[in-house]
Amino acid sequence: MEAATAATVAGTGMKRVYETDSYIRELETIVTESGTDDKGRYYVELDETILFPEEGGQNADRGTLEYDGPDGRITVSVLDGIISGRNTCSSVSGSGRIRIRYIVSEPVREGTEVLCKLDWNTRFDRMQNHSGEHILSGIMHRRFGVDNVGFHLSDTGPVTLDFNKPVPYEQVMDAQNEANLAIYKNLPVSVSFPSKKELESIDYRSKIDIDGQVRLITIGGPSKTDGSFETVDICACCAPHVAYTGEIGILKVISVVNWKGGIRVSILCGRRALEYINREHDILTDAAVRMSTEAKNVPEMVDSYRNEILKLKAGLAQAREKALIDEVNRMSDEGSAHVIFTDDDIPAAVMKNVYNVLSQRFGGFVGVFAGSDEAGYRYNAGSRDLDSRIPGARLKEAFGARGGGSEDMIQGKVAATEEAITELFNGL
């Protein structure tokens, strides 16, 4: 087993080895408490732990506990890790009253000696993305004076960073480029536990007020690439991080959107970023092949195709409108209700124009219905000289139609057959 200097939680004896060494993958330890929580789940507490709990926007580490049972080796899955006594990211070592309960798949008796094994691939993936977040947040703070006020590290989607002020997209991309330069320089990433006196002279970022010993993550120092010295960021943090920025590989900004008076930036780092770039590259390459052109020409050709499609759709809409108006003009003044049924792909503007012609030509209630008996119909209905809301009420009463409007016209959607709708209008 590897030895490690570990942080200890006062009053519990629990040693959080992950705080000082993010790379230990196995650790022999003892179950100090076990039981069932208020949700009926089995849990254990450990004398020492390498498994990071759910804290500060990051999910708990996955892993297993192994021990010798009467019939052989037993393996228990660690499903979650929950801080007991404090819900926020502690960013501290030795602050007291912080206990970690690990939710496990099977009960393990107190006093059992176990081999704790970390799911390393998941841990390293999170380390890459969390350390990348620190770099980008530090650069954004230094260059644009914005604070990261929210962070979530998803295991299935992009990592989200919430900043409290707006920053133009172009400037965020400049920060992305600077972040990747810091990654390429392979700068050291270090953990420290400064005293309160030392903290007074350190300019560091923190999302919360910390009561207790602060744990700082410093990204910077002598570059392993070119020997230069640079400090990118100093931030209070409770999570495991990479040892050198080069391990992050690459940082890619996926999106920048407005968020609560600021912006939300989504990023991917390391393996996730590579998979995303490969996926996007494959899509672009496939599009270029389909268009018989080079990838660089795809945007221009897409614009050209789009403009051509818009022209064709406009021409088709005009033709559809003319055909429907011709149908209106062929209708008899007498007989059944003046209601037209057409396909669902008819544009809303065409429906309204046809309704206007229909209501001007015929008295009483008229309507244009677009859709099918199976999928339901969109409609414009009403009358030029009666209250158009009357058929709306009848459609709602008979078929549960949704919609609204005024005395001049109603619109909405109804799930009914053509025959039933026609019969309703005949009875108006």
CATH at 36: 2.40.30.130
Q: Residue 11 pLDDT more than 50?
A: no
The reply to whether 232 falls in a domain is yes
Q: What is residue 84's predicted lDDT score, i.e. its pLDDT?
A: 78
Residue 216 CA to residue 199 CA, distance in Å, equals 10
| 404 alpha carbon, distance to own chain's centre | 35
pLDDT at 7 over 60: no
CATH code of the domain covering residue 239:
3.30.980.10
Domain boundary among 118, 150, 176: 118
Instruction: Collapse the DSSP code of 121 into the 3-class scheme (helix H, G, I; strand E, B; otherwise coil) and give the result.
Output: helix
CA distances from 252 to 129, 261, 354, 400, 401 (A): 10, 23, 50, 49, 47
* pLDDT score at 428: 87
Q: Are residues 104 and 149 in the same domain?
A: no
327-362 confidence digits (pLDDT tens): 999 998 877 789 999 998 899 999 999 999 999 999
Count CB atoms within 10 A of the CB of residue 120.
Answer: 16
Cα 372 off chain centre by: 36
pLDDT at 91: 46
Residues in the chain: 428
Rounded Cα distance between 309 and 321, Å, is 18
Residue 386 has pLDDT above 80, yes or no: yes
pLDDT of 95 higher than 50 = no
Q: What is the dihedral of CA 176, 182, 184, 189, to 10 degrees?
A: -130
Residue 68 — φ and ψ, nearest 5°?
A: -85, 125
Element (H, E) at 62: none
Residue 412 lies in a domain: yes
In a domain, 43, yes or no: yes
At residue 13 the predicted structure's pLDDT band, cuts being 50, 70 and 90, is low
Residue 41 CB contacts under 8 Å (≥ 6 apart), including other chains:
79, 103
Whether pLDDT at 15 is above 80: yes
Question: Looking at the domain assignment, is residue 86 inside a domain?
Answer: yes
Query: What phi and psi values does residue 28 have, to the nearest 5 degrees?
Result: -85, 130
Residues 96 and 127 in one domain: no
Give yes or no for residue 372 having a pLDDT over 90. yes
Closest CA to 9 of 102, 93, 86: 93
* Side chain identity at residue 232, one-letter code: V
Condensed to tens digits (0 to 9), the pLDDT of residues 273-290 reads: 999 999 999 999 999 999
Kindly state whether residues 250 and 339 are assigned to the same domain: no
Domain membership of residue 315 (yes or no) is no
Question: Are 109 and 234 contained in the same domain?
Answer: no
**CA nearest neighbour of 179 among 273, 264, 250, 235:** 250
Q: Are 91 and 151 in contact (CB under 8 A)?
A: no
Domain count, the chain: 3
- 62 plus 151 within the same structural domain: no
Whether pLDDT at 153 is above 90 = yes
CATH classification at residue 412: 3.10.310.40
Read off the tokens for 2.
């590897």
d(CA 312, CA 289): 24
Is residue 167 in a domain?
A: yes
267 and 135 within one domain: yes
Among candidate residues 256, 257, 59, 263, the one with its CA nearest the CA of residue 148 = 263
Residue 334: phi, psi to the nearest 5? -105, 175
pTM: 0.78
* 3-state helix, strand and coil shares in percent for the chain, rounded to the nearest 5: 35, 30, 35
Same domain, 347 and 250: no
Give the domain-ending residue among 118, 135, 168: 118
Structural domain span for residue 409 = 321-426
Tell me the one-letter amino acid at 238. C
**Domain co-membership, 257 together with 354:** no
Tell me the Cα Rg of the chain.
Answer: 32
- Residue 93 forms part of a structural domain: yes
Average pLDDT, the chain: 91
Q: Span 363-391, mean pLDDT?
A: 94
Percent of the chain with pLDDT over 70: 93
User: Average pLDDT, stretch 158-183?
Assistant: 98
Q: What's the rounded mean pLDDT across residues 46-75?
A: 95
Phi then psi for residue 326, to 5 deg, are -60, -40
Whether residue 1 has pLDDT greater than 90: no
Whether residue 109 sits in one domain with residue 192: no
**Do 212 and 113 belong together in one domain?**
no
Q: In this structure, are 263 and 357 located in the same domain?
A: no
Q: Of 247, 271, 295, which one is at a domain's C-terminal end? A: 271
97 and 148 part of one domain? no
In a domain, 307, yes or no: no
pLDDT tens across 287-329, in order?
Answer: 999 999 999 999 999 999 999 999 999 999 999 999 999 999 9
Check residue 9 and give its pLDDT.
Answer: 40
